[in-house]
Structure 1
């Protein structure tokens, strides 16, 4: 099988490339060259935002499947649709749980793929998608519009893998490390008064899922997550248990993302009040972020519960 991976130079993307290579696939990696590709794969250096340069780098290459790890905007999606037309019959877009960011509600159910319909979502190519700050501030919207554009215009079969929050020892985002460091050092962890559950996935397992999906026959969106959601309090409890430390949870009087004043009196006994300017910890959400993984299971892939792998991820960071 000939596989093209766009991006994938670090974290679970690199693991994905190695899995494909070790399974016998001929792997071509496209990135800007800031990080060398793993041994045994073809490395093409090109900026995916430069359509002419991308075409030149690809030459006349054809692929059985393309896995796009770094498509963040509808402009990038439009370039991909044009450049890979006729080059591949199958395209995997690594999307995100953030497409559901404004769709969940406190106490709501886990969200199935149908909760976000890319066929009806508006696309605006005139927004300043080339501005890194704008893209960072509109990450979820960029992914929504990328899904929407490819769903409507892609000249190939499309799979959108909506990835949960990825955790592992090599996580460059520092989100799990925030909990490990603060709880391990006895510092407070600021959370919402009633943090809502989110879904997570282990870095090695999302790499395995993408490699598996590359050879499968299904199309459309699929949620990729461990089946057991955790809220910020539960996540802190797991981290504390592994570290042998009692988490100190605090509730800011007015969380920045919640205009409704709150009181520490709504918190559990382990919580206390915090200063109003204290930043909420990562993974503390006021809307339900849990994803329903029924479709992935029906397609034949069963994700490992977070309770199984999360302690290992915490130990990797604490080592």
Structure 2
């Protein structure tokens, strides 16, 4: 049994991760602002803190608390990363940072971890509002790998999808097609990669037992052109998508990238993780959401 802290953990794949860890018999504590209720009752411990405030974050180690594994799902800046390096020094055996595909720029090829090397990436300090999302995550990774005195692995996830996705990114497309509203997509031939919320949680749980450090890419097997993705939605809605390159801001697709945006998962696969094929779950999820939206 491991003593595990999750920074975040009340919704989406963080919530699924909590459930998996409980099923494995671990002692789980979640640390959040306390504004979102959870359904775990007395199965878990809770710490109320502000991840963006160092003094508040220190509550996670008050009273000599130490952790076998810390999952950090809510670190978005180099300053937040440095705060964690200071607070958890000597208090954690393994630190797993949730990072993102957004550390890479869209490009024709498939990104490997070495394409953004956090061990040598120049650090500029600042808070969450000082950087765009992708740059904030790049800098957070760089601070951890250059300054932490404990083992760190950064999981670079693509867009995570599921019926529990509170952002509604996939539903945006389904709803627009149903209502025959325009969708702004600059390049229908661009390829995208995704991962389901269930597999994102499963990968995080699996990773705690692996002897690996550094960045690691994680996504479902295979990718999909945006034209094919929209075709799946057209099939389930029975309507034709109205694709536009000149759509209003509110009609711009959350998937509307100028070029392909995919990454290589050979590192994770060499460690033995069997990713699910994208086509084994994404068309089914679209079908499920299309029915729910009716």
Structure 1 CA distance, aligned partners of 2:158 and 2:128? 25
Work out whether residues 190 and 278 of structure 1, in 8 Å CA contact, stay in contact via their aligned partners in 2: no
Q: Does 1:41 align with 2:44?
A: yes
**Of 57, 70, 75, the match for 2:74:** 70
Q: 1:306 corresponds to which residue?
A: 278
**Equivalent residue runs for 1:114-125 within 5 Å:** 114-125=114-125
Alignment partners' CA distance in 2, 1:208 and 1:278: 34
Are 2:90 and 1:86 aligned? yes
Q: How many correspondences in the alignment?
A: 287
| C-alpha RMSD of the superposition | 1.8
Tell me how far apart the structure 1 counterparts of residues 68 and 224 of structure 2 sit (CA, whole Å). 37
Residue 172 of structure 1 deviates from its aligned partner by: 1.5
SS in 1 for 2:138: helix
Q: Work out the CA distance in 1 between the residues paired with 2:195 and 2:154.
A: 16
- Displacement of 1:209: 0.5
Distance change >3 Å, CA 249–CA 219, structure 1 → 2: same
Residue 63 of structure 1 deviates from its aligned partner by 1.0
Give the match for residue 192 of structure 1.
186
Structure 2 Cα separation of the partners of residues 77 and 201 of structure 1:
25
Question: In the aligned structure 2, how far is the partner of 1:239 from the partner of 1:214?
Answer: 36
Aligned residue in 2 for 1:257? none
Gapped runs of 5+ residues in structure 1?
253-274
2:200 matched to 1:206?
A: yes
Please report the TM-score for the alignment, with normalisation by the length of structure 1: 0.85
> CA separation in 2, counterparts of 1:41 and 1:87?
20
Task: Give, in angstroms, the shift of residue 214 of structure 1.
Answer: 1.4
Q: Would the aligned equivalents of 1:6 and 1:31 in 2 still touch at CA under 8 Å?
A: yes
CA deviation vs aligned residue, 1:117-142 (integer Å, no higher than 9, x gap): 112212111x4x254xx45xx00000
Q: Secondary structure of the equivalent of 2:224?
A: coil
CA distance in 2: counterparts of 1:69 and 1:142, whole angstroms? 14
What secondary structure does 1:201 align onto?
A: strand
Partner of 1:14: 15
Secondary structure of the equivalent of 1:221? strand
- In 2, the alpha carbon distance for the partners of 1:12 and 1:123 equals 29
Aligned in 2, Cα 1:311/1:24: closer, same or farther, shift over 3 Å?
Answer: same
Q: 2:181, 2:257 → 1: CA distance?
A: 20
2: distance between equivalents of 1:64 and 1:3? 6
